[in-house]
Structures are given as C-alpha cells and as structure tokens.
Structure 1
Amino acid sequence: MKALCWHGKGDIRCDTVADPGIEDSRDVILKVSSCAICGSDLHLMDGQMPTMERGDVLGHEFMGEVVEVGSPNHPLKKGDRIVVPFNINCGACSQCKMGNWASCLRSNRNGDMAAKQFGYSTAGLFGYAHITGGYWGGQAEYVRVPMADVAPMKVPDGMGDEHALFLSDILPTGWQAAAYCELKGGETVAVWGAGPVGLFAIKSAQVMGAAKIIVIETVPERIALAKLAGGTHFIDLKDEDVLARIKEITHGEGPDAVIDCVGMEATAGHGMLGVLSAVQETFTSSQRPYALEQAIQAVRNSGIVSVPGVYGGPVPVNMGAVGQKGLTLRSGQTHVKRYLEKLTDLITDGTIDPTFLITHRSSSLTEGPDLYKTFRDKSDGCVKVVFNLT
C-alpha cells in the first residue's frame, strides 16, 4: 500500500509499505477514505519529537471503512464507516474508567519508554513516535486500528467525510481547550495561534458564550478564518505589543482565560524577543515557549491558562507568575471520546461546520510530501490539508 513515511528531519516520502494485518481479536483493518495533515505532524517533520524511526507511517487524523475485523463478535462490522480518535483506549484501566481517555494506562506498548520521560506512561497514539507506542498512522491506504472496540465511532448516516474527519483530533482538541477555560458566558478569552486547533478553540469559545475572543496571529489567511470562527479582536504579533494591546482591549483587567494553541515552535514577534526568536528559528530547533510566556503574563489574576499546544520536552515556565497570580494551568492530550457525542450533535444541527478551515485537498498520497512543505511554510494560503482517497 501507499503511505506517507518519515525518513528524517524535513524528509517525508510517499512509500510503498506492507499492508497491515490483524494482530489481535480487538483489531480492525480500515480502508482509509479521508485523512489530514495535523500541525502536530509538522513537529515530527521538523525533528522536534524524539524516538521517530525511518519508515514510520505518519498520520493521526483519519477515517474510513472497516474491511476486516479481528473477531466474529467484534462490535464493528465490515462496511462500517468509522472515525478514529488519535489516542488508543483500552477501556478497562482506571484512567479509561474515569473518562481520561488520553491517559490510558495500557494502550502504549512502549509505556516504559514514556514513563522514563514523563514519570508514567501515556496513551498510545497513531503515527506519533515510538515513545507513544510506535503505531503506524493513517496517512495511508489502510491502517490497523488496535483496541477498536472502544474509541472509534460509527459515522452517522448522511454525514460526509469532511464533516466527520476532524472529530479524530483537532475539533475535540479545540473544544477541550475552551472547555478547560470553564466558560459560563460573557467572558473574555485570548487565543494564541489561529491554526486549525486555534480556529476550533475560537469557535468552541464562541459556542460556549465568550463575549470577547482576542486572537493573536500574524498570517492574513488565518486571521480571516478566525473572524469567521468568532474572533472579535485581533493582534498582529509581529507589528504590535501583544501584552499592551490585550491590556487596552480588556481595560487593564486581562482576559479571564487564555489558550496557547502554538506550543513549542512559537514566534515571539514584536520587540527584542522577536529578534531572539528569529535567531533561534534560523540556527536551532530549540523549543520556544514564547506564546506560553505571553499567555501567563496576559491572563488576569486567578485566571485559567489552557495549553493544547504541543511541547516535546522541558521548557521554562514562569512559575512565579503562576503562583503569585493564583493561576490554574490545564493541559494534556485530548480525551477525544469524551466529546464525540456532543460534537457530533453540534455538527449535525449546523452549530459547527468543521469544513470552513480546509484550504487544500488532494486525492493522492503521492502529493503528500509537497503538501507537507506547503503546510509547514504556510504558503499558498495553506491552513488545512485533507486527502480524499475514495
């Protein structure tokens, strides 16, 4: 089969690899109908995540048709259309029973490796390094889905691929980021980054009743989409002093909550930090937590800092500000299964149209390496790439 594979920093190839097969009675084999490139995939492309190996199949946003099941008694049947959450859930451990699906204790087959890095094992993830299990991903013609009796969701009749696909990751991720802000209506929220997750965080905050949504972004195409998503105020980080503008917009009080949707590859933008950021981007792959630092500084006292942005290792965090201001810091991989029913209803009733951020489509994985570069470079107005394979 054809698949998009990692071969080193900046080197993504469309390879011919072995078809997957059933390895356990809980498995299914999925014929992929649609998949997408996620911003997190760019961290892999840029060499920011450890434990990648040459030939690893990428991709954790995918859906398709079940073509083989591991057991005659499997709850999924041949012909079922399913969307697959990016994290793998056993359904039986203490974390899964609490609904903390991204913290599953049994799905990461390289759990010892993860425990050395993080203290405890994390859940297994599709297409995302061997520290998260080394599972092949879904930017491929076929994919093996382990523990498929727990997390995958049957797609409702009449729902097209492009409306269902982002339930695999970025829509629940944006929703969780906003949910962590504990919005009750009328709040001010600031969002760093209007990439795909940021756009869904903005939309989610709007649906949850935020009165003001401040968006920190510099790419014109993303700012335009952020307006469609519900952003009310916009700060160009390269031309404006972010903290000063936020204080102006909030009359000196600060946002009630802030969301860092940028993560480890932040650009500082304005001022001397912008100069330092430019040097780091040119000469090193060091993690740059500028967005997180700005978010911590900007949020009001006793506010909430929500961090869906990805970090690959230790970064300096201003714990002085966190402690003295009495902030709540919330982060983590997304508990996708927790939100699937709610978000499916919001798509079905038209409250959320997840297709608005798709800018590039392809029917062939052979175009994948070039589209990875287009997405990474934010060229040609690229915000989100989707492969429609059937």
Structure 2
Amino acid sequence: MLKIPLFPEYATVAALLKLLNGTTVASFKSMWNAIWELTGTPQNSVTWTDPDAWIEERLSGTDKATALNIWLGSNKTVNPRWIRGDQFLINGYKLIEEVSGLYSLTDRGKVFISKKDNAIAREIDKEEGLIQLLLQAAALDKGKRADFLGEWKSYLDTNSNVREDNVVKEYLRRRLINLKSRAYLSREGNSYAITGEGLAYLKAVNENNQDTTLSRLTVLSRDVEKFNKEQRDLFRTYLEKTTPAQFERLVRDLLNAMGYEDIKVTAITNDKGVDVTAVSQQGITTVKEVIQVKRFTKANVQRPVLDSLRGSLHRFDAFQGTIITLSDFAKGARDAAYEKGAAPITLINGEKLIDMLIANNLIIKKKHLEYYSIDESYFDHDSEMEIE
C-alpha cells in the first residue's frame, strides 16, 4: 500500500541518512521546528531556493550549525527546508532509530545507503507504486504524465487511500521524478520513456520476486510495447505509400479531428505534397492558416521552403502557417520558425505527425486489453467471522 506523500528522490534520502547517523535527535528536531516556524508574511516572504542565504540570515546557534551540516555535508544537494518527504520515507520504512538520544541507522537503513539497487529500495519501489510505473512505461513507446494517469489512478484505487485528483497527480509526478533521477526513465520535453537500465532493473526485480503475477505482467507489457512499435513502423510505411488522393483525405481528416473548419485543399504540389487552408478557433479569436504538407520529402526541409510559405500567407489572408513533413527539418528552418516580428510557422515532422494521428484516433485505433488481477492484500489480514 502506498503511504508516502511528498515522495523524495532516493539520492537525497541516502545523503540525509548518512548525515543524521550519530546526530543528536534534539538538535535535528530543534532545527526543523525553527525552519517550520519561518513562514513569513505576504510583505516579507521567505525564499527557500538558496540555503546559503537563508540559513545564514534566519537561523542561529545549533539550529544554524545543524542546517549547515546537512547543506554542506551533502555537497549542497539536500536543502534542509525540503526534506519533509525524506523524513516521511525514512520513518515509514524504519531506516533510522533513536538510540540514547542519537539517530542511528537501522539494518534496513544501512542496506538502503549501501548501493543504488538494493533490497530495501526494491521493497519500497514495489510498495510505493514505482514498479507499477515502470510496467506502464514499458508498455509505452513514450508517454506524458497524462498517458500514465488513467492506469495509475486505477492502481491507487486498489493500493492506497488516495482519491483526490490533484493528490493522485502529485503522487505520480514525484514518483516519475524519482525514477528519472535513478536513470530508470528518461525525459524528453514532457514525455517519459523507460531506459535500458530501467528495463534491466524491472527484469531483475521480477526474477528475484516471488510475485509471479508481476513477472507475467512485465512480459505482457513488453509484448504490447513491441507490438505497438511494429504497428507504428508499419503505419509510417503506409503513409509513405499513400496516393495524392489518399493523402489529401488524411490531411482533411486530421484537421477535422483537431477542430479546424472551412478546410480547403488549394493544390497538389510538384513534390506530391498538399497545400491546405483552414480556420481554427484560438480562444475568442478565429485564425486562418495555410498548411503545406511535404509528403514524399526524404531530405530535411530547408529554410527556403519555410520562407516561401511565410511569403505566401498574405495571398490567403492567413495569419500563420504549418509545414508537415514525413522527414524532418534542418536547423535553419527550426531557427526561423518563430522569428521575431515574422508570422509564426509550426513545424511538424514525421514522428510528430504520427503522434497527432494516433492522438486523434485516425487510422490507428487504441485497443484496451482487460485482464484480472487479484488484490492479495485483502488476504493479508486475519478476520473473524461472526456467527449469530
């Protein structure tokens, strides 16, 4: 069952554990209480981003010394103000104990700080849903937080008492950050993807886990991931083989799905692309746009193509333009897309086009597999049946 809010990165937890070991309990609690009381006011707010400044200005005596020991002793990686989540995890999983007024690492704590991949970290990962997120990531080619959210919420319904949407999202956000910090996930823009190291960790966890259901789910997730990649590659092959008429229909359908109106195909160009005009609603403003599709372009689209489209906007009374290609864009074209003082040109390469078609359920249809999973925690507690 998930039980840790403000879920921290394990590197900061390990660093804090090493620093707390042998520290007096009274000095740490005094420092924490002193920091907690520094709430500030709207007229005199407290900024926590620079411990070098606020520790010096706002703490004194042993409180200041303890805070500096944490900040400097961790090579400035552990901000003493932002360790509440670390404390929740340390206490929740019994990584430290009080002995004669001093903090002392438990055997579990010693294992946790011993190396990156250890038995206690694996236990926490399973209990706190991080293995679940790796399973989800393994089933995705790549995904934004929103792509994780539906299955994550269902998982929390069974494995936690968390129900509020904003809390569900925060639990997800912090755990994704944890996995990225350990190099089990990578992040590009707003999208996450499981790494080779993440797949290896998932495999190792399952090989040493008696939970055969978890192992079979991992295999299922990998099979789904492989199948999805094959379908995506096949999709691209079909796109490259479309006729001009098929491609015109594709462009129309995509724009319709995205909410564009008054869609008109103006020409089939010499490179077998399509020029389209359409109207979109952006807030309270109606915007006319020219879309140029470079259907069979093998080389990257160069800046002259962008300049030509931008120069033609006035002929269509258009405010902005878009170029869609199955290949990619040269650096010069990317740099000029949002040139200051010029009409904006949106650039959509082959991968982005496929993402958009999938997101709008065009040609590729999302299928949902339904499988049963036993809530084993139901049987973990003894219960007595009352017989009248």
TM-score by length of 1: 0.26
Larger Rg: 2
Structure number having the greater helix percentage: 2
